[in-house]
Structure 1
Amino acid sequence: MKYSLLILTLLLTFSMANAQKIYSVDYENQADVKVFVVDYANQADLKVFKVKYQNQAGKNNGKWFFTKYANQAEKKIFFVKYQNQADLKIFFVDYKNQAGWQKNFKKSLLY
């Protein structure tokens, strides 16, 4: 019993630590990062793929899982209206293998 409980705890810990969990806030002052969604992939700092389940998300590689509650997220973001207000420009992609950083110098925003 103790052995199976230990394995379950380790599995849950590693799956949670691996996720890039994001929450979209309603107000700019609540956000860790201000984000703008661009129209074309070549304009983006990061190409993002939205995953359906937390265990599918990656560690700062563009695979995001949007949480339902702010306290579950690693980073809180706010979507701004204008590009010049943003800390990070993103583009949502259709396939998981398209996700990733275009400009590595902005990676530190999501650590």
Structure 2
Amino acid sequence: MKQLLFAALFFLLVSSALYAQRIFPVKYESQADVKIFVADYESEADLSVFKVDYESQAGKNDGRWFFTDYESQADKTIFFVKYKSQADVVIFYVKYESQAGWRTEDKKHFFEGEDASRPSPKDTPQT
């Protein structure tokens, strides 16, 4: 019974880490996993984003973003585009955490899982 409980707990922890919203903005479009446009109005957005202060508060693809200091710490890299037509996802920054979330569910896949082209921190050898 303990082994089953441990296995279930381990699975929950690992699966939640795959969808954590640790974000790093990059300088060049070619470096980004997702291209983002910031809308002036929430009604224009695919995703309402709330910026959290601590990594532990980051959501699981629910619009709560933690901006990392380094690209290697991020689950997804983003590039802010000038025009809405260039974006994969349109976001709007909200004032309250309860306002965060997806408005366009079919765009949710852009932030699911980790980018395969970038090694995960757990894949990096310890020195």
Aligned positions of 1:9-24 closer than 5 A? 17=17, 19-24=20-25
Deviations along 1:24-69, one digit per CA (max 9) or x if unpaired, are 0000000000000000000000000000000011100000000000
CA distance in 2 between counterparts of 1:79 and 1:50 reads 16
Percent identity, aligned pairs only, is 58
**Equivalent position of 1:87 in the other structure:** 88
CA distance in 2 between counterparts of 1:86 and 1:58 reads 22
Amino acid at match of 1:54: E
**Equivalent position of 1:76 in the other structure:** 77
Amino acid at match of 2:31: Q
Does the 8 A contact of 1:19 with 1:56 survive in 2? no
CA distance in 2 between counterparts of 1:86 and 1:59 reads 21
**Equivalent position of 2:124 in the other structure:** none
C-alpha RMSD of the superposition: 1.5
What's the TM-score, normalizing by structure 2?
Answer: 0.74
**Mind listing any 5+ residue stretches in structure 1 that lack a counterpart?**
1-9
Amino acid at match of 1:23: F
Asked if 1:36 is matched to 2:57, the reply is no
**Equivalent position of 1:100 in the other structure:** 101
What's the TM-score, normalizing by structure 1?
Answer: 0.85
Does the 8 A contact of 1:19 with 1:55 survive in 2? no
**Mind listing any 5+ residue stretches in structure 2 that lack a counterpart?**
1-9, 113-127
**Equivalent position of 1:110 in the other structure:** 111
CA distance in 2 between counterparts of 1:55 and 1:19 reads 9
